[in-house]
Structure 1
Amino acid sequence: MNLVQENISELQLMKNYPKELFYSGNLELLQKTKISIVGSRKPSKYSRSLTHQLSSQLSKNAVCVVSGGAMGIDAIAHKGAGESNTISVLPCGINVKYPAINKNLLSDIEKKGLLLSQFSSDFIATPWSFVVRNELVVALGEVLVVAEAELESGSMRSIEFALKMNKEIYVFAHRIGESTATNELLKSGKAKAIYDIDEFVKKFSKTLVEVPKTVDDFIDFCKSNPTYDEALKKYPGRVFEAELSGEITIENGKVFSNL
């Protein structure tokens, strides 16, 4: 369906105002406080864990998470927020569900959250459409969080858009030699570090909700580093999905939790 863009004040920050905007899902999410989260498609265990914690805590405190539906940080941010409180901006038409590896996640967001696209329903993603997607992701958020990124990576375009829009940029603190782009942003004073997730969430939520830790039997089991066969036998319906979402990593026939 087409969207009336005049109701979205954030779009005024974009260099090229969208001629059309297509959507499927809950438009009420656009009225909420929104935070954009982007980053590497192959993040470290550290970045995966912090991204999931951050997006989950933001969502619990009524802040909507915006990202681009890609593998890695994007998918983790969407999943951490929960499909009903996230907006996924696509580099393709809404009917395409790209990347295919995230098809189920994007379908769930369409049913419970919101999909947005500047492209007609069956448009196939091209190199330039990812850049267009990135600008919209950045524009929608009150601030931009870059969870992990290397210099010369695609996330640099999102950073460039945020700087042009005068958006505050936040990053996680990484070790020297890791996430070179975010470390450079900190060094140059162009970004602020998130040292405490609760403190960050307080900036955007009127009342901080203390979220009790829940026990996930599957993740708890994976922390014992079982073999892939053991995990598949005990949780046949969860292993593949968890690997795609970044919750677990499988190396040398063993399962490792990333949360």
Structure 2
Amino acid sequence: MDSDISSHFLSLTKIPQTLTHIKNLKNLYYYGNLELLNKPKVAIIGTRNPNPYAQNFTQTIAQKLSKHGIVIVSGGALGTDIIAHANALPNTIMISPASLDYIYPKSNTHIISKIYKQGLVLSQFAPHYVPRRYSFLERNKIVISLGEYVIIPQADLQSGSMQSANYALSLQKKIFVPPHHIGQSLGTQSLAKNNQAKVIWEIDSFVNAICAQVFKSFTKDSTKNYNKNASASSDAVLEFCKGNPFFEDAFLRFGEVLFEYELEGKIRRNNGRLEVL
């Protein structure tokens, strides 16, 4: 650990509102850019052994969300976590299962050091704390709680990622997963099959929808105008889309309301055209 970094750990004066429901969370230590806590955030979690498809998906979606100013929250673990962090820098927050003077896992030291210097690292554990089994569960609670949405690129049925998914569902968080081949990523396939997660069929349309959704919650004036317009045009949107118009034509007429409808699963794009679900 860089001596300059390890000598400047600080404790938050107040626990963020999104974390106050975690009963045993009494303190948070941090190093890095605290302004990231004030930006829209999406949590990305998943297996430590992602297949090439999931690796590419994680890299692409983390890059695109970060470029739109959305902060990626994850746990710094091998596999999915560290891929998400690396491709979201500097818009990334890592939640550590150890104290901030102890980089874990060591094999991710190169990227985690960059997160310390360019992003933000948080831990609920006081200095000299080495991770134990339960500290990973506590870390995952913070990761899930900070994200407005949760993306799981790949997960097995009996895994820590699925435990985190259940925690997200208990908080009524929306979960998103990519489609996989039959027999792969049985955890995320199960979430999609049971309507506990929505499938990301197209990354760009998903990113547009997420951006429209999360940024309106961070801008009060735009939220009021957005809701007013959405309410006034809701029936008209669905009626128009029943004719299978091109997305571009519908966008010229209704604007960002379309992204909201896509995110809620009311409409979808199919070969450039919109259809009602």
Q: Identify whether the pair has TM-score above 0.5, normalized to the shorter chain.
A: yes
1:20-39 correspondence runs (5 A):
20-39=27-46
The answer to whether the 8 A contact 1:87-1:113 is kept is yes
Partner of 1:46: 53
User: Separation in 1 of the partners of 2:140 and 2:115?
Assistant: 18
- Listed one character per residue, the Cα deviations across residues 115-169 of structure 1 (whole Å, up to 9, x for unaligned) are 0001012210000000000000000000110110001111112111101100000
Aligned residue runs from structure 1 range 175-186, under 5 A: 175-186=181-192
Q: Say which structure, 1 or 2, has more relative contact order (CA 8 Å, 6+ apart).
A: 1
Counterpart selection for 2:14 from 5, 15, 28: 5
Q: Distance in 2 between matches of 1:203 and 1:3?
A: 32
Question: Take 2:183 and 2:24, find their aligned partners in 1: how far apart are those partners?
Answer: 38
SS at 1:203 equivalent: helix
One-letter amino acid matched to 2:137: V
* Aligned equivalents of 2:196, 2:190: Cα separation in 1: 8
Q: SS of the residue aligned with 2:176?
A: strand
More helix by percentage: 2
SS in 2 for 1:43: coil
Counterpart in 2 of 1:158? 164
Between the two proteins, the alignment pairs up a number of residues equal to 204
Return the match for 2:82 from 75, 78, 100.
75
Q: Which runs of 5+ in 1 are unaligned?
A: 208-259
Structure 2 Cα separation of the partners of residues 100 and 22 of structure 1: 20
**Aligned residue type for 1:188:** N
Find the aligned partners of 1:67 and 1:118 in 2 and give their Cα distance. Answer: 15
Query: Is 1:137 the counterpart of 2:146 in the alignment?
Result: no
Matched, 1:19 2:45: no
Structure 1 runs (4+) deviating above 3 angstroms are: none
C-alpha separation between the residues in 2 aligned to 1:122 and 1:176?
A: 44
Q: Map of 1:1-259 to 2, 5 A cutoff?
A: 1-6=10-15, 8-12=16-20, 14-16=21-23, 18-82=25-89, 84-206=90-212
Residue 206 of structure 1, CA deviation: 4.5
Question: 1:4-34, CA deviations, whole angstroms, 9 ceiling, x for partnerless residues?
Answer: 234x22113x342510001000000000000
Cα distance in 2 between the residues matched to 1:148 and 1:121: 33
Q: CA RMSD in A?
A: 1.3
Question: In 2, Cα distance between the equivalents of 1:182 and 1:50?
Answer: 14
Partner residue of 1:234? Answer: none
CA distance in 2, matches of 1:206, 1:180: 30
**2: distance between equivalents of 1:159 and 1:11?**
17
Q: Structure 1-normalised TM-score?
A: 0.77
Kept in 2: contact 1:63–1:204 (CA 8 A): no
Structure 2 Cα separation of the partners of residues 193 and 90 of structure 1: 28
- The separation in 1 between residues aligned to 2:33 and 2:112, in whole angstroms, is 13
Q: How big is each residue's C-alpha offset from its partner over 1:17-72, in whole Å with a ceiling of 9 and x where there is no partner?
A: 51000100000000000000000000000000010000000000000000000000
Q: Provide the rounded CA distance (Å) in 2 between the counterparts of 1:129 and 1:106.
A: 18
- Bigger radius of gyration: 2
What is the identity percentage for the equivalent residue pairs of Structure 1 and Structure 2?
41
Unaligned runs of 5+ in 2: 1-9, 214-277
User: SS of the residue aligned with 1:94?
Assistant: coil
Shift of 1:205: 2.1
